[in-house]
Each structure stands twice: as structure tokens, then as C-alpha cells.
């Protein structure tokens, strides 16, 4: 929360200096707005005790980031590969009683050392694993996309609600300072009426045998991996949910990108205010990590906009100046506050938020198949 207050202070000073406005005339977010509500944290707060499920490359990134968390720590492991568990046990001092295989996950129910399970397995396993974790009475943090379609996503939301546990989705950008600064700019009215958003998300994927190119495990191609950043980013940058989508798919290498695995999709979205978005999701082009938001009075450009390294951005008023942080550290500390103290995320990260993205992605795939504009019910 200290980070968010720093963003507020920096943004306000920048507006006053560069826009030539008096403080009294500046339409900024209130200090009571949930983006900037400080939380008094007692010195003896308990830590969120997290079991990491799926010990692959991104799990390693999360774990390294959690080494500097002040409100969360790793206390359990879940993997189908015993050798990985042994390595992680040594690194993080995890006792044998807190280590599980996918086949005995339900036994986690009786373990008081674990509050939540962070599911970082392939997309096609998210639903199954979430249902098991919820059934064991533990909170769920699930990587995005939350599932391979909206039907599975709804099952996950319903299961967690029925079990009385919370479901959070790993939207790390919802806590990133420059991203929040950009949202603050848009909400302040400084940009005027929002007209247009562009999101470019892509990279050239390597190993053709990896799980991301296996339909059963991934649920799709680039859209289910990198494309979701532009889907979700359009929503938080524009500040609305779309009411229609259209999309076109391009495939230049069908031997690598087999049926059901999208290589490149261009998609468009329309919003209730009249704003439109034009986005690109691809596994066949590098150097695509850019957001651009256009308003009647100004703009925001972010590049890189969602990568792991420092986010960079500017507006018509000058550079975005939010501090550089480790995304996963900030994410996990914030999620600890949500799960332990009912704190409010600056941008929603719950299962219902993830379900909205799944409904949009389902519609994008439908638009690719049909060639038609697909109208969305209220998300």
C-alpha cells in the first residue's frame, strides 16, 4: 500500500507541474478510493502459508520472488516429479509432511501449515486441480488463464464458493505500480473520453514439443498464453468490459501450430462507451509487448507493458514514474492481504474476474471460426 501512496503523490505532482493546474482544480482519485486506501499492518501479522503446485520455470520465478515477501511464505509443495520436490525441499526447508503428489492432494485438508495453494500447472489441469484444492478447504491462487474455457472457469468459481474458500487469479499486472499509475491517469479524467486501445502481445515460441503447443494441456495457442494480457489489459486500461468481439486467425506453420493451436490472432473489441480496441496475439513474432491508450485529451503508451522486466511508459504529460518492483513479490504480498485480512485489490483478481476473460477468449475463438462479430452478454 505504501507503493500505491507513492504513485498517488508522484502522479498528482506531475499533473500539477505539467498540466499547469492548481491543486484544487485537479480531478484526481480520492484518497479513499480502493486503489489508494492504506492498510495499517500490525508488526505481528501471521504470514500467508502457501503451497506451490507445479514446480516448473514460472513456479521458480514465483518462489524466488517470495523469498523477499513480508506477508507470504512457501510452506508446502505439490508435484508429480519426486526429484523436483527433493530439490525444492532443500532450497526452502519444506518438511516431508508438507509435500504432496497430485494423486494425494486431498490429504492437504488436514495440514494446518498450508492456507492456500498456488496452482502453476498447465492450463488444461487448472480446473481439476482447483476443484481438488477447494474440496480440501484451502484457498486457491491459480495462474492465468484460469481454465481452458468459460465452462471450466465457472465450475472453478462455483466450487470455491461452495467450499467457502477464495479463488484468486495470478494477475500480477494488477499490482504493478506503473500500470496502476496509468489506470489512475485514465480514471482522473486527464485523458478525456477514451477512444481507442491497442494491445500487442507476442513472442516467437521455441521448442515445438513443449506443453504450450499441446492442445490437451494448453487449451489453445498464443491466445491462451500471451494473448490474455491484451484481453485483460484492454479491460483495465479502457475501464470497461467489451460488448462485442471480432477476430481473424493467421497460421503460417501448420506443422508446428496444429489444429486448435493458434499461431497469430488479430482481434477487435467494442465497449459500451464507443471505445474500440485492436489487438494482436502471436507465437510467431518477437518484440511485441506494447499497450497504447488514446483519449480525446491525451494518451498513455507502455512498452514493455506486461513483461517481467521493468515496465516503461509515458503519457502526454511525460514519463510514468511508478517505482520498479518485483511483480510476483508485490502480487503475493497483496494476495496475502486479500486472503488474510479481506483487503481489496486495486484491480480485481478474483475468480469472477478471470471468468470474464475466459468468456471473451471463448468469443474470440468463436469469431475466428465463424468470421462473424460476436456479441457478448453482460460480463
CB atoms within 10 A of CB 251: 16
Active site residue 341: no
Active site residue 144: yes
Instruction: Given the residues 100, 118, 171, 229, select the one marked as catalytic.
Output: 229
Instruction: Given the residues 8, 132, 144, 359, select the one marked as catalytic.
Output: 144
For residues 264-281, one letter each, b for 16 or more C-beta atoms within 10 angstroms of the residue's C-beta and e for the rest, the string is bbbbbbbbeeebbbbbbb
CA 62 from chain centre, in angstroms, equals 13
Give the span between the Cα atoms of 139 and 91, in whole angstroms. Answer: 24
Query: How far apart, in Å, do the first and last CA atoms of the chain sit?
Result: 29
CB atoms within 10 A of CB 91: 13
* C-alpha distances in Å from residue 280, one per residue of 47, 70, 325, 335: 40, 37, 27, 30
CB atoms within 10 A of CB 63: 21
Active site residues: 144, 229
Amino acid at each position: 500500500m505504501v507503493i500505491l501512496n507513492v504513485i498517488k503523490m508522484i502522479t498528482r505532482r506531475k499533473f500539477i507541474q505539467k498540466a499547469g493546474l492548481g491543486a484544487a482544480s485537479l480531478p484526481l482519485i480520492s484518497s479513499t478510493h480502493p486503489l489508494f486506501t492504506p492498510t495499517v499492518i500490525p508488526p505481528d501479522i501471521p504470514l500467508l502459508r502457501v503451497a506451490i503446485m507445479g514446480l516448473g520455470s514460472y513456479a521458480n520465478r514465483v518462489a524466488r520472488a517470495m523469498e523477499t515477501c513480508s506477508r507470504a511464505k512457501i510452506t508446502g509443495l505439490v508435484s508429480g516429479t519426486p526429484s523436483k520436490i527433493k530439490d525444492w525441499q532443500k532450497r526452502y526447508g519444506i518438511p516431508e509432511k508438507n509435500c504432496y503428489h497430485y494423486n494425494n492432494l486431498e490429504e492437504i485438508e488436514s495440514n494446518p501449515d498450508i492456507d492456500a495453494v498456488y496452482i502453476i500447472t498447465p492450463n488444461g489441469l487448472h480446473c481439476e486441480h482447483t476443484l481438488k484444492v477447494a474440496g480440501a478447504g484451502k484457498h486457491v491462487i491459480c495462474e492465468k488463464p484460469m481454465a481452458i474455457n468459460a465452462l471450466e472457469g465457472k465450475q472453478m468459481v462455483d466450487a470455491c464458493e461452495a467450499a467457502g474458500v477464495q479463488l484468486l487469479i495470478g494477475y500480477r499486472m494488477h499490482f504493478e505500480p506503473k500500470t496502476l499509475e496509468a489506470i489512475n491517469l485514465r480514471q482522473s479524467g486527464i485523458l478525456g473520453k477514451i477512444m481507442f486501445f491497442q494491445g500487442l502481445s507476442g513472442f516467437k515460441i521455441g521448442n515445438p514439443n513443449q506443453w504450450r503447443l499441446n492442445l490437451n494441456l494448453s487449451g489453445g495457442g498464443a491466445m491462451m498464453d500471451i494473448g490474455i494480457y491484451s484481453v485483460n489489459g484492454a479491460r483495465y486500461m479502457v475501464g470497461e468490459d467489451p460488448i462485442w468481439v471480432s477476430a481473424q486467425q493467421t497460421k503460417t506453420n501448420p506443422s508446428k501450430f496444429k489444429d486448435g493451436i493458434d499461431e497469430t490472432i488479430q482481434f477487435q473489441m467494442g465497449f459500451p462507451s464507443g471505445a474500440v480496441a485492436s489487438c494482436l496475439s502471436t507465437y510467431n513474432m518477437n518484440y511485441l509487448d506494447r499497450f497504447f491508450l488514446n483519449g480525446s485529451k491525451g494518451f498513455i503508451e507502455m512498452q514493455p507493458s506486461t513483461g517481467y522486466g521493468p515496465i516503461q511508459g509515458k503519457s502526454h504529460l511525460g514519463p510514468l514514474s511508478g517505482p520498479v518492483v518485483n511483480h510476483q513479490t508485490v502480487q503475493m504480498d497483496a494476495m496475502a492481504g486479500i486472503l488474510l485480512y479481506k483487503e481489496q485489490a486495486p484491480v480485481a483478481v478474483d475468480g469472477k474476474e478471470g471468468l470474464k476473460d475466459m468468456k471473451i477468449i471463448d468469443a474470440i475463438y468463436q469469431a475466428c471460426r465463424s468470421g462473424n462479430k460476436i456479441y457478448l452478454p453482460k460480463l
